[in-house]
Chain A
Amino acid sequence: MADDTRLSCGRSIDDVWSHLDGAPDEHERSCPYCLEARARLLRLSDAAVDLRTSEAADPTLQPDPGFAASVMGLVRAEVRRGQAIPLDDDDEPGLTISEQAVVGLVWAAADSVPGVRARRCRVRVALRDDADDDAAERVFAGGTLVDVGLSLALQPGTSLVEATTLLRERVTDRVGEQSGLRVRRVDLAVEEVL
């Protein structure tokens, strides 16, 4: 198949397109094929912007008004609760809290720290590091110990040290006060400065 994007001068539509934002290069300025292609591509580019704007505002090109709500109805029917975290020092715990409920506490605490956007979060029952007989033994010290993992983004100008110190404090306090769990560790991963 012949390359239908190649102009008679040998350049491709892609070459011309890649210069479209700036001034034409030396070849383009003196090449009638490139100049014509450039003019056409500029018109296409403008038309694409216009099409995007007009379609986004066109009432006939929106989903039905109840669409988002119906999607969210289905989504909320499948809310993930995560694993059940035991609250008491019993091998057959009678009382548990869902990981999701604890994650909600972590987010609320993190969102209260200026400049922090809390993202992905995981809460795991802390296991004894030194256990050789039973590697899966959890730790109970007046409350089940948990490890929190949290990814976050920082707003520009936020002090990393101050924000993360405050964040660890508040997460530990809030989770302790409101769930009865005791936070052993808060692992933070700063993914991005916004």
Chain B
Amino acid sequence: MTSDVQPRPGGAPAYDDWDDASLVGRSTSGDDDAFAVLVQRYQGPLFRHALRLTPDRRLAEDVVQEAFLTAWRRLPTLQDPAAFRSWLYQITTRRSIDAFRALKPETPVDTTDPEVLDLTAPGPGPEARAEQRAQLGDLAAALQELSLGQRAAWSMREIDGLSYEEVAVALGVPVSTVRGRIARARAELVERMASWQTTRD
């Protein structure tokens, strides 16, 4: 056989080194083995993204599971395979914020309001895990003090490596809004990490 693809016992090719767009294309046409590789690839980053927005592990897992399931159902309508990643982040971000609001019933919940992400409610305080990690803890803690919208935008860009355009899709806001939010997040983060500076007046 002149195949450049190593067949697995199940007959499906070894997808592990495949590019996202090809895996998304296969998944779009119902290839669940290809989708399984995308789940493997994104479960960690999405879970950590959800944990940044909602403090509860169980909740974060529920949110990410729902994101994958929703993505699987919607895949047949996906026109541009490159949009898949921002889609996963969009669903995860929205659900995380909804879940976070649901945990705090005194906060008005209006998921139809596109500005819901702009609420400046600070997140949960610095977590114990963050405190154990010296300087990294400083950034993790500073991040938790940002508004939800800034934290989501900054971390998708700087931690998850999404483009500004992808972040805009994920947050459902214009790219200019994303740029502004990330710039403010950077400004606030460098302020909050001032303790790193040895020669500060």
Contact = CB atoms under 8 A, between A and B. Distances in A.
Contact of A191 (B21, B29, B65): B21
A51 to B, nearest CB: 5
A43 B51 CA distance: 24
A43 B69 CA distance: 38
Interface string B128-157: 010001011011100000000000000000
Nearest to B31: A107
Contacts of A122: 29
Interface stretch (B97-105, B110-118, B166-174, B187-195): B187-195
Nearest to B5: A111
Interface stretch (A24-32, A52-60, A125-133, A176-184): A52-60
A84 interface: no
B22 A117 contact: yes
Residue of A40, A60, A115, A155 ringed by the most chain B CB atoms within 10 A = A40
B69 A80 contact: no
A112 B19 contact: no
B4 A114 contact: yes
A112 B6 CA distance: 10
Contacts of A78: 69, 72-73
A51 B21 contact: no
Band of interface residues on A:
35 or more
Given A50-B136, A51-B159, A103 B30 contact: yes
Leading 9 A-B pairs by shortest Cβ distance? A119-B25, A40-B190, A80-B30, A120-B25, A48-B158, A5-B183, A47-B139, A117-B22, A63-B47
Interface string B29-72: 11110011001100111011001000000001100110011001
B125 interface: no
B190 A44 contact: yes
A47 B29 contact: no
Contacts of A13: 183, 186-187
Nearest to B35: A75
B183 A63 contact: no
Contacts of A44: 139, 186, 189-190, 193
Contacts of B11: 108
Interface of A: 4-5, 12-14, 17, 37, 40-41, 43-45, 47-48, 50-52, 54-56, 58, 60-64, 67-68, 70-72, 74-76, 78-82, 100, 103, 107-108, 111-112, 114-115, 117-122, 151, 153, 155, 191-192, 194
A12 B187 CA distance: 10
B76 A80 contact: yes
Contacts of A58: 129
Nearest to B76: A80
Contacts of A43: 190, 193, 196
B89 to A, nearest CB: 15
B68 A75 contact: yes
Contacts of B138: 47
A14 B154 CA distance: 13
A74 B69 contact: yes
A51 B139 contact: yes
